[in-house]
């Protein structure tokens, strides 16, 4: 194995989403509020089928199968949607200072977290990227070699991790309507100073899927349990997305109209040129 490959494998690219600290480490980790398809809870080497109103304890892992998903209510602290083909571990309630609250080893999660008053961090890890998040609505998705953060509302501060250590000296903010994709190779290049973080505008299909998921959650009874600030943020953001989509539709319609006018202009121009050509030919005859 080459030295570069050994170095690459030594880089542990994790994604840590860090928000304001949650109150009360001693309370239950959350409650299953919706189950679709095959969802299991793993704990202590055993597994059981997940059911609505199941109480989740620290250290348990939620696994969703194909075409399956689960919603977890974190009391007043937030709401998590776990997508299909995902594996999410909830940390022990007596976790160490550097331990994450949520570990995403595969799949994807959408997280709604209100603005929290206390200092500290709520952390979410994925296997291949690092991110320290400040924000209210975001999603994380990925597999073993790469993951992505999409921010619908708020700001996410991204930090790379190598050998299990978060590199706080490398930080990139990801804001509303932005995405950041990282994999092990990119993280290594960033740490070596050979590459910078590349922020991208959130793709239209990702934003539209985001909107649909949020709309679904807005229709659930648990949405009324969200804080007033959180409900307002969600409602305002959905409205802004609709307005953005409408503006883009208008832009497309305007472009179509301009193309139609240009086509007609060229047609008329060709007609005039043909007419002039025929007059010149008549004179020559």
Q: Return the bridge partners of 119, or none.
A: none
In a domain, 221, yes or no: no
Q: Do residues 186 and 161 touch, judged by C-beta distance below 8 A? A: no
Do residue 125 and residue 245 come from a single domain? no
In a domain, 219, yes or no: no
In a domain, 193, yes or no: yes
Do residue 64 and residue 146 come from a single domain? yes
**What would the mean pLDDT of 97-105 be, rounded to a whole number?**
72
Sign of the Cα pseudo-torsion (76, 54, 18, 143, in order): negative
Distance CA 182, CA 165 (A): 16
In terms of DSSP H, where are the helices of the chain?
A: 3-10, 184-191, 204-218, 228-284
In a domain, 216, yes or no: no
Tell me how many degrees the CA angle 128-234-14 measures, rounded to the nearest 5. Answer: 10
Nearest alpha carbon to residue 91 among 28, 133, 13:
28
In a domain, 169, yes or no: yes
Percentage above 90 pLDDT, the chain? 25
In a domain, 78, yes or no: yes
Do residue 283 and residue 161 come from a single domain? no
Q: For the chain, what is the domain count?
A: 2
Distance CA 178, CA 187 (A): 19
Of 6-15, 124-133, 239-248, which has the strongest mean pLDDT? 239-248
Q: Coil, strand or helix: which one is 253?
A: helix
Do residue 174 and residue 240 come from a single domain? no
Which domain covers residue 235, as residue numbers? 227-285
Pairing of strands 79-82, 172-175: unpaired
Do residue 259 and residue 170 come from a single domain? no
Question: In the prediction, which pLDDT does 71 show?
Answer: 95
In a domain, 218, yes or no: no
Q: Do residues 222 and 79 touch, judged by C-beta distance below 8 A? A: yes
Question: In the prediction, which pLDDT does 236 show?
Answer: 85
Question: In the prediction, which pLDDT does 109 show?
Answer: 92
Do residue 189 and residue 235 come from a single domain? no
What CATH number is given to the structural domain containing 173?
A: 2.60.120.1440
Q: Where are the beta strands (DSSP E) in 185-276?
A: 199-201
6-28 pLDDT, tens digit per residue, is: 444 444 344 555 543 343 444 46
Do residue 254 and residue 170 come from a single domain? no
Do residue 69 and residue 155 come from a single domain? yes
Do residue 24 and residue 77 come from a single domain? yes
Do residue 34 and residue 122 come from a single domain? yes
223-234 pLDDT, tens digit per residue, is: 888 878 888 888
Do residue 107 and residue 246 come from a single domain? no
Of 43-47, 211-215, 245-249, which has the strongest mean pLDDT? 43-47
């Amino acid at each position: 194995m080459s030295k570069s490959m050994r170095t690459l494998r030594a880089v542990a690219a994790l994604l840590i989403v860090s928000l304001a600290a949650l109150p009360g480490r001693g309370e239950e980790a959350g409650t299953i509020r919706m189950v679709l398809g095959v969802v299991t809870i793993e704990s202590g080497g055993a597994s059981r089928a997940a059911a609505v109103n199941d109480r989740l304890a620290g250290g348990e892992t939620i696994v969703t199968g194909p075409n399956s998903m689960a919603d977890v209510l974190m009391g007043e602290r937030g709401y998590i949607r776990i997508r299909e083909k995902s594996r999410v571990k909830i940390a022990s309630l007596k976790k160490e200072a550097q331990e994450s609250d949520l570990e995403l080893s595969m799949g994807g999660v959408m997280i709604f977290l209100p603005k929290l008053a206390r200092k500290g961090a709520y952390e979410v890890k994925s296997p291949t990227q690092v991110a320290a998040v400040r924000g209210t609505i975001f999603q994380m998705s990925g597999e073993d070699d790469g993951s992505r953060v999409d921010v619908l509302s708020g700001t996410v501060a991204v930090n790379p991790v190598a050998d299990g250590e978060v590199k706080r000296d490398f930080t990139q903010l990801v804001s509303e309507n932005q995405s950041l994709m990282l994999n092990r190779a990119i993280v290594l290049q960033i740490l070596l100073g050979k590459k910078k973080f590349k922020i991208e505008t959130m793709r239209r299909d990702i934003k539209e899927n985001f909107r649909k998921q949020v709309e679904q959650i807005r229709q659930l009874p648990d949405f009324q349990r969200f804080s007033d600030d959180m409900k307002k943020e969600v409602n305002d953001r959905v409205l802004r997305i609709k307005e953005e989509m409408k503006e883009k539709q208008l832009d497309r319609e305007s472009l179509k109209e301009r193309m139609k006018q240009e086509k007609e202009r060229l047609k008329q121009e060709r007609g005039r040129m043909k007419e002039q050509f025929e007059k010149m030919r008549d004179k020559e005859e």
